[in-house]
Structure formats: C-alpha cells, structure tokens
Structure 1
Amino acid sequence: MNARRPLCGLQVPRTVQGVTNKFVALNKRDDVFLALGNGIIRVWEFRAEENRLAYRNCCLGIVHRQIECVKVDADDRFVYYGTRSGDITQVELDVNQAGDVTPRFIDSIGRFLKTEKQQKNESSWFGHGVTALFLPTDQKDTMFIGTGNGCVYEVRKMMVPVKDPIRSRHGVTRSSPRSRTVLDPIRKAQLSGEITTIYPALHQKSVYVGTSVSSIHRFDSDNWARYELIFTTNHGSVFGVNFPQDFSGVFATAGQDYVRLWSAVDGREMLRLQVANMVCTVVDFMRDGHSIISAWSDGKIRAFSPESGRLLYEINDAHPKAVTAMATTGDCTRIVTGGKEGQVRVWIVSPSGHKMLNSMHDHKGLVSCIRMNHDSSKCVSSSEDGTCVIWDLE
C-alpha cells in the first residue's frame, strides 16, 4: 500500500470468468478472499512465497442465483449469501492439511413452514429477495435477515428430516430419510423500503436496521414490537419546500409518495404523509397554520392536519393533468393552482366544501410557479412557454 503498486495479478479464462459483484474476506486468514457473482463463487488465495494468485471455483451445478449480500461465519467454515430469488445459499469451505481452501455447495435454505396451511399457501423463500445478513459471533445458530419487501427476521438454524423418493435401478421407489437445514423465524418486524443493513449491538440490547428509504431504526433486542426511528432523510428528489407564515421552527418538503414535516432546530422528522405511487409537486401552509396544502401528480389537491396528519379535504380533478404550481391567499379561503396543461384555476375552500371560482387559459405550456402579492389581491404565474401573467383576484 505504501508503494502504491500491485503485488501480482491473474487473468481468469473466459470460460470460467463470470460476472463478479461481491467480495468478502475471511475472518482468520488474510491471504484468502472470496469473489461472488451471478452463477459463480470463486476462492482466491495469495501465495506470498510465490508472489502469485491462485483460485478455485465452486461447482454450483444447475443453481443460478443473483447474489445480493454475503457473510462468512466466525470460524471461516461456512459462507452464506442471500439471493434475489429469496433463499440463502450455504457454501462450505473445506481446508486441507496444506491450508488450501476448496468451496463446496451445500444447499439453498429457506423458511421453516410449520403448519400444513403454511406449506400449502406460502413459499419458503423470503419475499423480494434476501438483501441483508448478519451472523452473530456468540450465537452460532442465530441469523438476522433483511428482505427486499422491508421485513426483518431473527431466525434459528435447525435440522429437519426430509423424505425424498429415490428410484432404484430396478424401478422400485423407496423413501430415504435425510436432514435439511431450515430457518425457523423467532421474531419478525415490517419496515418501509428495502432492508440494506442489519447490525445487532447485543451488548446494548439493540438491533440497528438501515433501509433503502434513508432511515435507521433501532429495535429492542428483547421485544421487536418496540422500535424507534432514530434517523431519516429524503431518499429521492425533493420537488418543493416551504416554511409556515411567520414561523421558522418547522418546514415541509414534497417528494415521491410523501409530504414530510421537519424540525428546523434539530432536523428531526416530525410527520410523514404518504400517498402511494404519486409525486407531490408543491407543498404550502395555510397562513393560519391549521392545514398543509399539497399538490400532486394525479391532478388532486390534498389538505392535511399538521398535528395529526389527518386528511382534511381533497379536491379531485383540480387539473386534468398534474398540478405543478400552487399558492394560498392570506385570508385562507382561496387556493390558486397551475397545471401541466397550462391552466390557472382559483378555488374557494371552507370546512363545508370547495368549488372552482375561475379557470384561466392564457398560458400555452406548463405553469411553473405562482406567487401572491402582500395582500393577496393579485398573483403572478409563470410558464414554460416563456410568459408571466399577472392576475387580479379581486
């Protein structure tokens, strides 16, 4: 590393090259590491006395998996890798007297289905693939698993008898009992997004879980029903941001599937309002602070309570296409919106209902922004057609 030069290298033949996307080192040896990819597991060994690399491939037969995560147990005896198919593949590392490591495929492991109903209606594979693994060093029969559909499992490895029919040379079918490793779920929790990282801090009696939606959760290791969100942030594009009138303690952001209310003091998420498969394009507060007004890609306006997150009212078909711009008046009785089709509309809102007051068609392109003057008597709208129009709201 100090000289910044490679020690050695080796070109793998094209016939066994494969596509490598994961690397993992052993725990007790510095000269051996594994390279894993789609349909290939290869053990690499650095032979310092010869200054060269050597490799051995694991014969997987007809097993072809897309590898998502990989872990080696504390004794460097087994390798477990999670796959997009939803199973966990177990590979044994055989070490001979000379210290050479040879990988050997053992089995593909799934969930243990206890009842006949589960065996009939459920799959033993984990939903949306296994995306995170953790093997505790002090509990060799325990494993933590994260899946693509947001489930976190604590499982126990166990052996169960399996009877497979075997046909002899004489055509006689008999059953030969054998044992197979399965994963018996002990605990399970459901989170949002794909599970990306699991780290049990058992000395703290906590399990930390990271997700693809930029959130970190902490579980009580004794009771998974008790967990808390300790960190989160926006995980995609932010399409809008706004502060309430004359108050800088909180602000709201708009993005894919959500409106989120944040503390401006410590950056903590205070409220999350979700609408599945929709994009919130604009977010604003009514001047009295009693509602959060949001514009969405499905052409609707939705108003939520900033305290409970309850939906207060919804303006269906506010625009025939997406709502792309919005502003509210100072008396909290009107909302001015702009749409993807180029129209600007004025809405009257009240606890008893809402109705459209006017619809203007001067713009020829998407309405990109709407702003009010100080007394809400006029507003100005801009458009992608290059025009700005001032509207009299009196």
Structure 2
Amino acid sequence: MSQPLRLDSVIGFGGGVDDGLIVHHQTNTIIYPLGSTIVVRDVTDLKKQEFLHGHSDKVQCLAVSKSGRYLASGQITYMGFTADIIVWDFHERKMIHRLSLHKVKVQALSFSCDEKYLASLGGADDNSLVIWDVEAGEPICGSPTHSDHTLTVKFFNTTPFKLITGGKNNLNVWDFDLRNLKIRESGVQLGQYQRIIQCIAVDDFDEYAYCGTSSGDLLQCSLPQKLFKNSGPAKFMVSQGIRTCALTPTGDIMIGGGDGSLYLLKKPELLEDKRSSKLKVIASANINGSVSSLAFAGVGDGYYTFLAGTGMCEMYVLTYYLHDGQLSQELIQSCHPYKINDVVFPAEYSAVFATCSMNDIRVWHRDQCRELLRIKVPNVECNCVAFSADGKSIISGWSDGKIRAFGPQTGKLLYTIPDAHPQGVTAITGTSDSTRVISGGGEGMVRIWLIGKVSQSMVASMKEHKSAVNCIAMRSNDEECASASSDGSCIIWDLKRFKRNTAMFASTFFKAIAYDQHESQLVTTGTDRKITYWDAYDGQAIRVIDGSLTDAMNTLDISPEGNVLVSGGSDKLVKIWGYDEGLCYYDGRGHSGAVTKVKIAPDKSNIISVGSEGAIFIWDYKDPPLFEEN
C-alpha cells in the first residue's frame, strides 16, 4: 500500500475562479484555489504554504465566514453527478462537512453574518439556491432561482435572514423564513435596464448593493426599496464587462474588468435635490488579464491595499494613496494560465528549472517559488524545452515547426531553425558536448542538427516513425538515442551511422522513454497504462508493471542513482516506484488535471510535476524504504 507523498509548495493560482482570491485577516494568510487543491499562503512569505485536499475536481468558488472560523469551497464535476461543497474548520485545517445536493457545478457560496447559515448557488444545470445549517451540515430549504442563469449570491451584513442573487436579466432579494423553512424572492426594479449581473457587493449597513454587469456598468440599487438608484462609470469604459467589485474602507467601490482595467469609483453623495451623485472614476490602473478577484488587504498610513487576481493566473497588490489619488499595481505571483507541456532542470543544477506552455517559456527559482524569466513568442505553443549541457542556451521546440534557442539569463533569441519539422517540433534534447541537437516532429521524423557559432545545419533526418515523436532519450556517450512515438514503436538510433539499431513495439501510444543508470535498460510508458522495462541491446521486454489502473501514463523520470522511478499520468497522481522491485511506495495527490511531465531535481531534494491545469507542484523527494533481509 503506497504512502502519501508530501507536497512542499506549489506555483500557481486558479485565476479563472470568480472571487477565488481571499485575504484571511485574522491569520494574515491568503486563500485561493489551484485545481482541486486549496492553497493557504502566508501574506509575506510565498514559501509558507499549507494545502487543503478533499475535492475530486476543480474548485469553482470559495467563501470565508465573518470571523474567519469557517471556509467553504464548491467544485465542478461531470454531467449527471452531484458537485460537492466542503465546509472546513479553517483554524484546524480540517474538513467538517461534505455537502452534496447541487448538480454538475457549485456556482457561488456565501456565509450569513452570524455564521449559522451557508447559501449555495448551483450552476447552469442546477440553477437552485440552497440554505444550509453550518453546524449540522444539513440543508434547511431551497428554491429554483430564475428561469435564466443566476451567477452570484451574497448574504446581507446586518441580518442572517436576507440575501441577494443576480444573474442573466435577474436581480432578486430573498427573505429566509426559518420558522416555515422557506425562502421567498422579491425582484429589484431596474426599470429599462436589461443586464447580466456578474458580481455583487453589499455595503456594511445593507442600504445599497453594487452590481457589476457584463455590459461594463455598475448598478447601485437600494436594498430596502428594492429599486435602481444609480450607475457608472461612463459608457463603454469597461469594454469586456465588470467581473468583480469590492468596497473600500472609505466606502468607495473598486471594480475589475474583463479587459484588465481597474477603476476606483467615488462613493455616491446625496445632492440637494435628494438625488445621489453619479458613480465617477477617481483612479484607474490596468493589469494583465481579466480581473477575476478583488480582496481588501489592509490599511496603512495614508493608503490602503487590495489584492487582485486575473484570468492569466497572476496576482497583484493594488495600492491607493489617499493624498494624491494614485492607484499603483505590483505583480507578486505568476504562473502559466494554460497547460504546461514540459519541465526541465539544467545539468547538475537544482536551484532553477524551466517550463513551457502556450506562448511562452518561463524560468523559475525553485526555493523562492518565483518567476525569474519569461520568454514570450505570441500565438504559438512551446511543446518541449531543454537546457544545453553547457548551460548557455535554452533549446525549445514549437508548434510552428521552429527550433528556437534563447539565453537562459537574458531570454535573448540566440538562433532559430525554421521549418525544422513540418508538423511542429514535439520532442527535443541535446548532446553532452552541446554541439548537436536532436529533435522529433509531429510527422514522425527524428533529425540531428549541428549547432555552430554562426550557423545551424541539419546533419541527418531519420524517418521510420509513422506518427508524432513524443520523447527522445540520449545515451551519455552521445552515440545513441531512443525515440518514443504515438505509432506504438520506440526506436534506438545509431547517431554515427544515422540508422536504426533496434526497435520495440507495443499496442500503445508511447509517451515517455528513459535510460536507466547503467544504460543497459530502457523504461517506457504510454496509453496502455503500463510501465515497461526493455533490454537496450536487443529491444526485448524484460518486465511490465501496471502504472495505473484507470488512465494513461504520460511521463516518467529515473533518479541519478537509478533506484527510483517517478511517473505521472492522466489519473492526476505522481507516483514513486522502487526501480528494482517495481513497487509503488508513494503517491502524490493534488493535480486536478493530467500530469504532463515529472522531473527529479539533480540534487534529489524535490520532484517537480506539471499538469494540464497549469499548476507546478514541488514535492519532497523520498527514496523507497529499505527492506531488511531475514
């Protein structure tokens, strides 16, 4: 029976979750989702992280109670299944209740001001509002919300028996009748306004609700009168709609737009004719990506701060200075917003590693969990990346068929090999003397390139694979390499004669291949869910073990001493195997998507895994336990 693998830290942020970034003021921590994991991070130290595991799929919404005692999280699941809500005791970091009633998706959550009740909103396939008893973990009552989709819910701040919901052409105030176990809705009169309400902020005294719309305007509505009062900012100022809004300590309203714009709107004032003033912009800023979360962070001497999260999985600190009315922003955390395709360490160096994804390559500091370098190539996907053996270049393969090399410190483009592969470069590696690059393509060719100081030329092109080359493993003497392909074959190539030495075949799409420590064996894995050991001389299968019982295996790596094999697959697990025994000793759970690559740090301190959800997980490395002989 395998033991759980300890998660050391993660790099990533679920920026696609609306209002998913929360500041817990009582403990000075930040809470945010990352796939199926909830990350609790110290405000000042990125490395101080804790993790809450319990969801089976992506977390879609979060809410914290007023005192900070409770945390609630809701997830998405498959069509026809119920989506779970988990109520956590935040201080003890443990699960209290698992609530299952909504279908497919939990859209939004909100705690009542006295923390006794939790309101949950189902997604488009459910569209119901449910009130839960937090202490008992049981539903009290519920109701369908509206014929159109409802997107957000908020309890009032002074009473636990009123709440407000908003969505497509609907904005309703609900009365919670505890005695009769019912909730009753009353529509807010918006006049001629037809809007999709995407976010709601309720002021401290429940006088007004501020509703952000997909049209880009903020509606101020009187809650006692259930009546529209005001709107702003100017028309078309927020071009892609208001995705999130929050109230400031001074009563002003901060809004975040789908276009990355941030506006601070002045609190409306009552004029002499008893009308309120318009919602005017007093400060603005712009950040990268759709603004999905705004969380008040604190007040200083003459300023206050917010945290902002974006759909590009970046986190910013926003500072508003009261004396000059300036709104500044600072990037404090970033990660890939798309599937990560590869991860690699420089030779014999563990302090940094590189990852690649859509549009970019990023270099990370492992211990500080921060981005050191970002290399952007717009509108193309980087499929594979490798450091040259001398550490002077980052070699990469791209979906446009080009091989690009960059400086590892500056990110400067060193050279480009155009038309390297007609169907994209899908695998890449270099020789130990850094003079040649071996690449594989989507069309099945394996090519060798001579890298000179001023020019790059093709030495040989070897075509035997009939489908994409997914991985290339180099032998230490640079005289042989092995390629794994989706055509069900792995070929060992002689790099002097540029001919095939031998080949291995199986009924699978081979995804990964690696030499063992002594280079007498090769290990492969693929869609047949097997990990197979092969004789590197004659290509015969030596041993076959089950890597997964349910899903395809995508990646593997072998430790420098050769006693440990690490694998990852579409079952979202990272597994540590004893190489000689073929037994799984540890498994790591945390990814909410397929694990695309795993890599053991050269100093064996950590294992890095990357996934289709865009997350980077850093695990504590563990050797298999030693067995005493009887």
Class of the TM-score when normalised by the shorter of the 2 chains: 0.7 to 0.9
Is the 1:259–1:273 contact (alpha carbons within 8 Å) kept by the matching residues of 2? yes
Is the 2:170–2:197 contact (alpha carbons within 8 Å) kept by the matching residues of 1? no
Pick from 173, 186, 211 the counterpart of residue 283 of structure 2.
186
- 2:123 counterpart of 1:24: no
Matches within 5 A, 1:300-319: 300-319=402-421
- 2:316 counterpart of 1:217: yes
- 2:250 counterpart of 1:139: yes
The CA distance in 2 between the partners of 1:324 and 1:11, in whole Å, is 49
Name stretches of at least 5 consecutive residues in structure 2 with no aligned partner. 1-132, 497-630
> What is the DSSP-based 3-state SS (H/G/I as helix, E as strand, rest coil) of the residue aligned with 1:221?
strand
The CA distance in 2 between the partners of 1:312 and 1:89, in whole Å, is 52
Is the 2:383–2:398 contact (alpha carbons within 8 Å) kept by the matching residues of 1? yes
> What is the DSSP-based 3-state SS (H/G/I as helix, E as strand, rest coil) of the residue aligned with 2:280?
strand
Matches within 5 A, 1:168-187: 181-187=278-284
- 2:174 counterpart of 1:44: yes
Is the 1:253–1:261 contact (alpha carbons within 8 Å) kept by the matching residues of 2? yes
The CA distance in 2 between the partners of 1:322 and 1:201, in whole Å, is 45
Letter in 2 for 1:130: I
Is the 1:85–1:125 contact (alpha carbons within 8 Å) kept by the matching residues of 2? no
Summarize deviations over 1:308-348 as a string: whole Å, max 9, x none: 22222222221112110111112212211111111112222
Instruction: Give 1:61 deviation, angstroms.
Output: 4.5
Letter in 2 for 1:47: D
> What is the DSSP-based 3-state SS (H/G/I as helix, E as strand, rest coil) of the residue aligned with 2:223?
strand
- 2:233 counterpart of 1:110: yes
Q: Which residue of 1 aligns with 2:509?
A: none
Is the 1:128–1:147 contact (alpha carbons within 8 Å) kept by the matching residues of 2? yes
Letter in 2 for 1:106: K
Cα distance change, pair 225–347 in 1 and its aligned pair in 2 (3 A) = farther
Q: Which residue of 1 aligns with 2:197?
A: 67
Letter in 1 for 2:250: Q
Q: Which residue of 1 aligns with 2:80?
A: none
Q: Which residue of 2 aligns with 1:173?
A: none
Identity over aligned pairs, percent? 35
Q: Which residue of 1 aligns with 2:39?
A: none
Q: Which residue of 1 aligns with 2:470?
A: 368
Letter in 2 for 1:152: L
Q: With structure 1 as the length reference, what TM-score do the two structures score?
A: 0.82
Q: Which residue of 2 aligns with 1:114?
A: none
The CA distance in 1 between the partners of 2:215 and 2:404, in whole Å, is 39
Summarize deviations over 1:114-138 as a string: whole Å, max 9, x none: xxxxxxxxx53302211121111x3
Cα distance change, pair 109–225 in 1 and its aligned pair in 2 (3 A) = closer
Is the 2:201–2:210 contact (alpha carbons within 8 Å) kept by the matching residues of 1? yes
Cα distance change, pair 310–154 in 1 and its aligned pair in 2 (3 A) = farther
Matches within 5 A, 1:136-175: 136=248, 138-140=249-251, 142-157=252-267
Summarize deviations over 1:163-195 as a string: whole Å, max 9, x none: xxxxxxxxxxxxxxx98624324231x322221
Larger Cα Rg: Structure 1 or Structure 2?
Answer: 1
Instruction: Give 1:215 deviation, angstroms.
Output: 2.2
Q: Which residue of 2 aligns with 1:167?
A: none
Is the 1:195–1:209 contact (alpha carbons within 8 Å) kept by the matching residues of 2? yes
Letter in 1 for 2:238: F
Q: Which residue of 2 aligns with 1:200?
A: 296
Q: Which residue of 2 aligns with 1:323?
A: 425
Letter in 2 for 1:151: S
The CA distance in 2 between the partners of 1:240 and 1:380, in whole Å, is 18
Is the 1:342–1:383 contact (alpha carbons within 8 Å) kept by the matching residues of 2? yes
Q: Name whichever of 3-12 and 190-199 sits farther off.
A: 3-12
> What is the DSSP-based 3-state SS (H/G/I as helix, E as strand, rest coil) of the residue aligned with 2:357?
strand
The CA distance in 2 between the partners of 1:346 and 1:372, in whole Å, is 12
> What is the DSSP-based 3-state SS (H/G/I as helix, E as strand, rest coil) of the residue aligned with 1:265?
coil
Letter in 2 for 1:215: E
Letter in 2 for 1:186: A
Q: Which residue of 2 aligns with 1:353?
A: 455
Q: Which residue of 2 aligns with 1:343?
A: 445
Summarize deviations over 1:191-250 as a string: whole Å, max 9, x none: 222211122334144332112232222234339686433233343322111110111111
The CA distance in 1 between the partners of 2:391 and 2:280, in whole Å, is 51
Is the 1:281–1:295 contact (alpha carbons within 8 Å) kept by the matching residues of 2? yes
The CA distance in 2 between the partners of 1:306 and 1:350, in whole Å, is 18
Pick from 244, 264, 286 the counterpart of residue 366 of structure 2.
264
The CA distance in 2 between the partners of 1:269 and 1:126, in whole Å, is 30
The CA distance in 2 between the partners of 1:7 and 1:347, in whole Å, is 68
Matches within 5 A, 1:6-21: 6-10=139-143, 17-21=147-151
The CA distance in 2 between the partners of 1:88 and 1:225, in whole Å, is 19
Q: With structure 2 as the length reference, what TM-score do the two structures score?
A: 0.52
Instruction: Give 1:48 deviation, angstroms.
Output: 4.0
- 2:474 counterpart of 1:378: no
Cα distance change, pair 61–288 in 1 and its aligned pair in 2 (3 A) = same
Task: Report 1 or 2 for greater relative contact order, CA contacts < 8 Å, sequence distance ≥ 6.
Answer: 2
Cα distance change, pair 187–8 in 1 and its aligned pair in 2 (3 A) = closer
> What is the DSSP-based 3-state SS (H/G/I as helix, E as strand, rest coil) of the residue aligned with 1:181?
coil
Q: Name whichever of 373-382 and 16-25 sits farther off.
A: 16-25
Q: CA RMSD in A?
A: 2.6
Q: Which residue of 2 aligns with 1:90?
A: 220
Instruction: Give 1:283 deviation, angstroms.
Output: 0.8
Instruction: Give 1:34 deviation, angstroms.
Output: 0.7
> What is the DSSP-based 3-state SS (H/G/I as helix, E as strand, rest coil) of the residue aligned with 1:277?
strand
Cα distance change, pair 6–219 in 1 and its aligned pair in 2 (3 A) = closer
Is the 2:231–2:279 contact (alpha carbons within 8 Å) kept by the matching residues of 1? no
Cα distance change, pair 307–52 in 1 and its aligned pair in 2 (3 A) = same
Instruction: Give 1:41 deviation, angstroms.
Output: 0.9
> What is the DSSP-based 3-state SS (H/G/I as helix, E as strand, rest coil) of the residue aligned with 2:419?
coil
The CA distance in 2 between the partners of 1:316 and 1:201, in whole Å, is 48
The CA distance in 2 between the partners of 1:185 and 1:127, in whole Å, is 18
